[in-house]
């Protein structure tokens, strides 16, 4: 039962990003620990005899796997929420910074002025384009430049 679980997790983990992979690997071994806790609780409640205590059965293992799956789901949900919150915070900080610049900014200027957050012109342009999509910025294009301005209506 545990081998099938490990194989299933391995197949799922192949397509996950790095931070989620680390959660998968930790909770893979966690299933056996959960199973042991469940088994001891079942013994303490009188569900199993003393002579069955030293061997974790299928019932305890299946409950350990269920707990591991639940904790994995919750960890992924929380990780996703944290990532989304970080992206929103970064976007709102950029919008506030852009609001202070009445002359607007190009992607290249942003990557130079805030290199810690936007190390290259491409990442700066992506961030500015997201602000435009979300209605926090507008774009003015000329023959030579593309400037982004804070949208007063946001």
pLDDT in tens, 34-59: 999 999 999 999 999 999 989 999 99
Q: What are phi and psi of 10, to 5 degrees?
A: -60, -40
Give CA–CA dist 61/2, Å, rounded: 7
* 3-state SS class at 139: strand
pTM: 0.58
pLDDT in tens, 109-153: 999 999 888 999 999 999 999 999 888 999 999 888 999 999 876
Number of H helices, E strands in the chain: 5, 2
Give CA–CA dist 108/118, Å, rounded: 10
Is 154 a residue whose pLDDT tops 60?
Answer: no
Is 15 a residue whose pLDDT tops 60?
Answer: yes
Structure tokens at 75: 């960890």
What domains does the chain contain, in order, with CATH numbers? 2-86 (no CATH), 101-150 (1.10.10.10)
The pLDDT value recorded for residue 86 is: 77
The pLDDT of 2-23, averaged and rounded, is 84
């Amino acid at each position: 039962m545990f081998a099938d679980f490990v194989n299933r997790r391995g197949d799922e983990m192949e397509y996950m990003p790095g931070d989620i992979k680390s959660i998968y690997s930790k909770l893979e071994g966690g299933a056996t620990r959960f199973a042991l806790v469940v088994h001891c609780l079942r013994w303490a409640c009188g569900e199993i005899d003393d002579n069955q205590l030293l061997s974790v059965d299928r019932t305890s293992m299946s409950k350990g796997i269920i707990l591991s799956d639940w904790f994995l789901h919750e960890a992924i949900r929380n990780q996703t929420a944290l990532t989304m919150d970080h992206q929103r915070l970064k976007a709102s900080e950029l919008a506030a910074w852009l609001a202070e610049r009445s002359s607007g900014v190009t992607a290249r200027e942003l990557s130079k002025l805030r290199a810690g957050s936007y190390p290259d012109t491409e990442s700066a342009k992506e961030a500015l384009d997201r602000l435009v999509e979300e209605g926090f910025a507008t774009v003015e294009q000329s023959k030579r430049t593309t400037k982004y301005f804070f949208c007063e209506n946001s």
